[in-house]
Amino acid sequence: MAIYFYEFLVRGREDGTVAWHVVQAADGTDSFGRPFHDERILSMEQAAAEGITLPSVIAAVNAAAMAELETARARVLVLEEAETELVSSRAEVEALKAQVASAVTALNAAQAEATSETETTETVPLSWWQKLTSALRS
């Protein structure tokens, strides 16, 4: 169970001085396996008695904030790379769609040409069944 700074508050006073307190917290599991959250509020005097100074609290807050900032910056870089790949993939998909559309147009034109040639120039020979039926009728 690790103790961490849960809250830090600085207040100005009417006389121009500063007062502050920290809240320390610990999360864990009790002996029955139930999770718990424990908090302890320290005034600036109580914190000083435990060796916690205002500069050390500010340094801890700054270090945590900088760590979160660096994590966020790294995530931004990952997302920007993913966005670049996505844009590239979309361009590739659009190019493939254009190729398919062009091929479909060419295929439709070839089919239309083949159909019109068959209808106008070819004569279909009579099958043996048609010849036999025609001879029997005569």
Domain ranges for the chain: 1-52, 53-101
As a whole number, mean pLDDT of residues 24-39 equals 90
Cα-based angle 45, 48, 52 (whole degrees, multiple of 5): 135
79 confidence band (pLDDT: 50, 70, 90): very high
**pLDDT reading at 117 higher than 80:** no
As a whole number, mean pLDDT of residues 105-133 equals 68
If one compares 115 and 7, the residue with the highest pLDDT of the two is 7
